[in-house]
Structure 1
């Protein structure tokens, strides 16, 4: 298993919760039942178990949201799944209709070290084949340049905060930019805008009705950020 004593079944629940509520949205029991193909009564019992384990906050008849720890685990398994999809399709040339199922089988056993190696080989991808955003890694770096420069995996520390990129935000949010992802060219483009780790970022739903560009306030200055950058600028939540 990818996360010690956490079962694959629990990882699957947390992954579905993340995919439907990564910005703290409540996910209904019905939605979970439909996506997992499990009877509502069984889903309810599992949600009660996950709450006792501290992975979610559950409200009967309404649904569940991820806790900080649940979010950490869910982001990690979702990231591995989407990187594997990218690898299977782009490198191994697996048929597109088969990559999701094969990634599901592989994600639970992919080590953190192998995940990092895949990310570097794929040049720090930001989206999966279906254009879903790949979550940030859990490694305590400010940029992919720092990650690439650290050759000894055993020296890498995990970060304490959960991260969301600009394009994942779905409610009014304020946070500190904690990680910027991308190849050297993209990192240079972002740096040239004077956007850097440590800046305060404000996101307003009212200002963001266009999925191709994202309007944010960074240290008091308004920016119109293209999607390619928005997928790669992360704030701590």
Structure 2
């Protein structure tokens, strides 16, 4: 279950910050005010509170960015929301116009164990119905195959760091590939390109997006990565 010490209101703020600044971009008070439907003055007061809690770094008149701790919480709640949207639409056949609100109501109480079970049932989805990226889980696995192999949820450990997939990167970024998501077939396709956990990846924003492909440097070799792979190759940030 979501951490009882973290209110739903705080999770909503962190979720909006993640949606608009997942790769370290500053998110303005105006953006938060519009998306949350809250007066700018109230948003400013909450941002100060979130900074005191260690979840964000806030610069008056400029905006806020997530800290590592804030990112962890934001990714977790965003992941639950988007997996629930996928479940509500694909399995329960809820009308598309209703799924966002229902997912909002459910995300704060969905346990980590239930989230993992939903992910498995849905075959490790990478996109929600709005085609937004579903963040990686924060379980300490290097691939979904490892997750399948661990049947006892009580033995599942959490990662100590955050991840972003290649297609989420919005600035020059480099890091270590630390998780690869997907079916065994997709994992095999990625491995056939010489991409593996532990590889060093460099992404140069602006120059390296070619249609639905991403030009990246992995272990010194330039590779053109299609979108379906880019959504599922995660680097440590």
The answer to whether TM tops 0.5 is yes
CA shift, 1:211, in A, is 4.5
Whether 2:41 is the aligned partner of 1:28: answer no
**Distance in 2 (alpha carbons) for counterparts of 1:198 and 1:162:** 15
In structure 2, the residue matched to 1:65 is 65
SS at match of 2:23: coil
| Aligned pairs for 1:98-113 within 5 A | 98-113=98-113
SS at match of 2:210: coil
In structure 1, list runs of 5 or more residues that go unmatched.
Answer: none
Contact 2:209/2:215 (8 A) holds in 1? no
Contact 1:165/1:231 (8 A) holds in 2? yes
SS at match of 2:65: strand
**Distance in 2 (alpha carbons) for counterparts of 1:6 and 1:76:** 12
In structure 1, the residue matched to 2:47 is 47
In structure 2, the residue matched to 1:152 is 152
| Aligned pairs for 1:1-237 within 5 A | 2-237=2-237
CA shift, 1:119, in A, is 0.2
Give per-residue Cα distances to partners, 1:83-112, cap 9 Å, x unaligned: 000000000000001010100000000000
In structure 2, list runs of 5 or more residues that go unmatched.
Answer: none
> What's the C-alpha RMSD, in Å, of the aligned pairs?
0.8
TM normalised by structure 1 equals 0.99
Deviant stretches of 4+, over 4 Å = none
**Distance in 1 (alpha carbons) for counterparts of 2:156 and 2:124:** 17
SS at match of 1:207: coil
Equivalent pairs, count: 237
**Distance in 2 (alpha carbons) for counterparts of 1:101 and 1:211:** 32
CA shift, 1:209, in A, is 3.4
Contact 1:211/1:227 (8 A) holds in 2? no
**Distance in 1 (alpha carbons) for counterparts of 2:92 and 2:14:** 28
